[in-house]
Amino acid sequence: MLNIVVCVSGGGTNLQAIMDAIDTGKIADTRILRVISNNHNAYALARAKEHGIDAICVSPRDYETRELFHQALLQAVDEVKPDLIVLAGFLVVIPQEMIRRYVNQIINIHPSLIPAFCGTGYYGLKVHEAALARGVKVTGATVHFVDEGTDTGPILLQKAVEVKEGDTPKILQQRVMEQAEWIILPQAIDMIAQNAKSEKGAAK
Ligand code: GAR
């Protein structure tokens, strides 16, 4: 069984895709131990609770320093001892200590074909604004492992999505979610779960 923590900041449609894929068996042998948000108002928290999943908020606003926030975030993760941390629209820079502690155990979904439109300042709608401003004809999404840089870790999966005449950032964002993110994020988790299972089997 692959035990995961999912970190979210907003609407949580990617979290929903993961929960649905677990329910329908598209992701095998996986359970979500906890959902963590940095934002008290994130609708993602309600989605998790509705699903009966432990959901907590660790907000930087509740801590006097960034350091204390980082400690609390790390503690919220460590407490449940996950095999994998999934950043599903988590718009917080991950503490270096967490990256060092969970090497190859953190994945992120980014709404572009990395290395285009990624790195510092490229998140959420800004990514799609930049893609439209550059006039690209194809964009997409990427699932990658998280290393110490921003969006620089090894790529696991990518899926391309067409940009259409008349697209606005919001329209493009929705298409990228529907045609790429909600598909490749569950796929990546399933791949990791299958891999963990075969490694366990081999160790027996
Ligand atoms: C998604 O489009 C995700 O790719 C993006 O935030 C959105 C969250 O939506 N993540 C980033 O931009 C990370 N750099 P959701 O809360 O509905 O899943």
pLDDT digits (tens, 9 = 90+) for 37-64: 999 999 999 999 999 999 999 999 999 9
Share of the chain above pLDDT 70, in %: 100
pLDDT of residue 143: 98
The residue nearest atom 10 of ligand 1, judged by CA position, is: 89
145 lines ligand 1 (CB under 6 A): no
What element of type H or E holds 186? helix 182-203
The CA 19 to ligand 1 mean position distance, Å, reads: 16
On average, the pLDDT of the chain sits at 97
Whole-structure pTM over 0.95, yes or no? yes
pLDDT of residue 115: 98
12 lines ligand 1 (CB under 6 A): yes
The residue nearest atom 3 of ligand 1, judged by CA position, is: 89
Closest CA to 7 of 98, 133, 111: 98
The CA 166 to ligand 1 mean position distance, Å, reads: 22
pLDDT of residue 193: 97
Just give the CATH number of 2-203. 3.40.50.170
123 lines ligand 1 (CB under 6 A): yes
Q: At 202, is the secondary structure helix, strand, or coil?
A: helix
pLDDT of residue 11: 96
112 lines ligand 1 (CB under 6 A): no
pLDDT of residue 204: 65
- Is 70 considered catalytic here? no
Judged against a pLDDT cut of 90, whether residue 199 lies above it is answered with: no
The residue nearest atom 14 of ligand 1, judged by CA position, is: 123
pLDDT in tens, 24-33: 999 999 999 9
pLDDT in tens, 57-72: 999 999 999 999 999 9
124 lines ligand 1 (CB under 6 A): yes
pLDDT in tens, 117-173: 999 999 999 999 999 999 999 999 999 999 999 999 999 999 999 999 999 999 999
The CA 28 to ligand 1 mean position distance, Å, reads: 23
The residue nearest atom 9 of ligand 1, judged by CA position, is: 89
pLDDT of residue 27: 98
pLDDT of residue 203: 74
Q: Are 6 and 90 in contact (CB under 8 A)?
A: no
Buried b (16+ CB within 10 A) or exposed e, 173-188: bebbbebbbbbbbbbb
Where residue 202 falls among pLDDT bands split at 50, 70, 90? confident
Q: Are 119 and 93 in contact (CB under 8 A)?
A: no
